[in-house]
Structure 1
């Protein structure tokens, strides 16, 4: 019972912080995903240290250099929306990222006892896998004015709409997959990675997520987003969100841990909460760029 209340309380706090950060303003949206990205990157590094002992020996310069580069990359996606001393934060982030990405390998050569390109590759993959997806969400939010939300582009949709919908569709897919799997799940989907996942639950979750998006989009959401966009975003969330969940589960199995972190009592770490978003966000961004931008 104590565990139930702990999980419930932390989930309510999590939802409140997420909604506040996403809905309040551009800068709170950026700060929210900036912090999530930086903390998730640290969890990725921790998983790597459990997977490959060689990575545990990287220098402090390497660890901090990769973290600062990740933070700078996230800042790059703000573009001209914020300024510090009259200088766009996107430009500050871009130059900082370039400097650290160029200097970090040199520092690794000079400061590490055993120089390894493999370790640099691990960190680079972390920036691509963890940081870039959150940066792309920030980019969608910051460039929302250039998005065609409806065929006629009538009415206005808030900039946070697409990122929030992506998160909601992932949640619906996960919830429905769990319910359907519990009721009729019989056939293991990926037993070596996630023994509890079933084909019936996975397919059922995807179908119900897309159906929910289609029904809501048809009857109530058409003034904000064209029906095909509701369906497409739900499909992206369901398909690539599921793959993203399996990828993180595989990493945890390789590292021999149950959770990526302990930031949320009863819910694990940042990567545990956003593993689906890490893969769904890039594909949602691609969809927005090719099918929704002016």
Structure 2
């Protein structure tokens, strides 16, 4: 059949010469049509030798290289050994510099922590007024750090109302007890609202909210420490609170770093793990049992010391998570830098702020206050 377009296609890879049957319309010089035959022939020529090239490539030694990838929150970059570790694979000098920097930072953290502990217990030994004044200073710094932190994301807290309000909370707690600080909190809300109306500030609801939160968070919760400081058994009660809270925090960090696998609150604090929480709880409760069993801190008994340890193991981490939620919402790592090597004051008081009212209630329950 000649010129009917039904001739079978040639085999792939066949030479061009003589592969067009005589009489085919597609093969005539006069025709400009691009037929199936032309398509097959052209694609065959294009990929001729592809299999051999692939085989040769598989036999060659290819040096592995870094991968360019888009990482959420980081951006597109080259990911290699030095990008992950921060140093080149064979740079012992730079590794040593990093180790020295870490040791220096650790020494600074220890020195700052020991200094703060020495000042605190020295003021506690001096008397309830002195330790209360020391805590007031810490609270005012913490509130100022919080206000500075929320300013970074566009809020405008009324610090000239919030800071005096925080001092007033501690003053009222000294004179009338923590149950009377509600009046101060109401006055802060009223003053913030009146100023926002008179001054015509933008976003009054948000700015009033962060102003009041600065007073209601650390100052109000820390005010429950005042009756503990003024107790005849202030030394034992305060030491028990501080030691168990600090021990719980340290144990959670240690167990979480060495054994932690399951994240406890991945959204709020990715570094906190279930294993760290459980290990810290066990260590803290055992410490409470030892304190009560051997009468190390009068007037704590076996029951009250164990109950205090268990309560701190629950509410201390909640205080840490609460601060983590605030910091994550405003996108900062530390609330401040007032304590060298530790960050801000509120970063170190987050667990204590929730542990203090918890200890106050435990002490009331067992008749220690």
Instruction: Please indicate, yes or no, whether the TM-score normalized by the shorter chain is above 0.5.
Output: yes
Corresponding residue of 1:131: 219
Alignment check: 8 A CA contact 2:263 2:270 kept: yes
Normalized per residue, which structure has more helix?
Answer: 1
Pair 1:183-2:292 in alignment: no
Q: Offset at 1:129? A: 1.3
Q: Name the residue aligned to 2:242.
A: 167
The answer to whether 1:108 aligns with 2:186 is no
Any conservation in 2 of the 1:267–1:273 contact (CA below 8 Å)?
yes
Conserved 8 A contact 1:69-1:101: no
Query: In the alignment, which of 141, 148, 172 is matched to residue 76 of structure 1?
Result: 172
Q: Give the distance between the partners of 2:213 and 2:183, measured in 1 at CA.
A: 20
Closer, same or farther: CA 221–11 of 1 in aligned 2, 3 Å: closer
Q: What pairs with 1:22-37 in structure 2 (closer than 5 Å)?
A: 22-37=124-139
Structure 1, unmatched stretches of 5+, are 82-90, 146-157
* Cα deviations by residue, 1:128-169 (Å, 9 ceiling, x for unpaired): 211111111012222x24xxxxxxxxxxxx323323321211
Indicate the structure whose relative CO is greater, using CA pairs within 8 Å and at least 6 residues apart.
1
Runs of 4+ more than 4 Å apart: 93-101
CA contact under 8 A between 1:109 and 1:115: conserved in structure 2? no
- Other-structure match for 1:219: 294
Q: Determine if contact 1:76/1:94 at 8 Å carries over to the other structure.
A: no
The 8 Å contact of residues 237 and 299 in structure 2, kept in 1 or not, is answered as no
Secondary structure of residue in 2 paired with 1:20: helix
- For the residue of structure 2 that corresponds to 1:208, the secondary structure is helix
Specify the SS of the correspondent of 1:246.
helix
In 2, the alpha carbon distance for the partners of 1:126 and 1:95 equals 16
| Structure 2 alignment gaps of length 5 or more | 1-102
Please identify the structure whose Cα radius of gyration is greater. Answer: 2
Q: Which residue of 2 aligns with 1:155?
A: none
Asked if the contact 1:240–1:279 (Cα under 8 Å) also holds between the matched residues in 2, the reply is: yes
Q: Residue 97 and residue 240 in structure 1: after superposition, are their counterparts in 2 closer, same or farther (change >3 A)?
A: closer
Query: SS at the partner of 1:267?
Result: coil
Residues 228-282 of structure 1 deviation map (CA, whole Å, 9 limit, x = unaligned): 1101111121110011111111211222111111011110111111000111212
Does the aligned pair in 1 maintain the 2:245–2:312 contact within 8 Å?
yes
Match of 1:154 in 2: none
- Residues 15-164 of structure 1: matches in 2 within 5 Å? 15-51=117-153, 53=154, 55-56=155-156, 58=157, 62-79=158-175, 102-114=190-202, 116-142=204-230, 144-145=231-232, 158-164=233-239
In the superposition, the TM-score normalised over structure 2's length comes to 0.66
**Considering only aligned residues, what root-mean-square deviation do their CA atoms show, in Å?**
2.6
Go from structure 1 to structure 2 and tell me whether the alpha carbon gap of 1:20 and 1:192 turns closer, same or farther (over 3 Å shift).
Answer: same
1:13–1:293 CA distance, 2 compared to 1 (3 A): closer
Length, aligned pairs only: 266
Q: Is the 8 A contact 1:65 1:104 kept in 2?
A: yes
- Whether 1:2 aligns to 2:104 is yes
Decide whether aligned partners of structure 1 residues 184 and 21 sit closer, same or farther in structure 2, where only a CA change above 3 A counts: same
- TM-score (norm: length of structure 1): 0.81
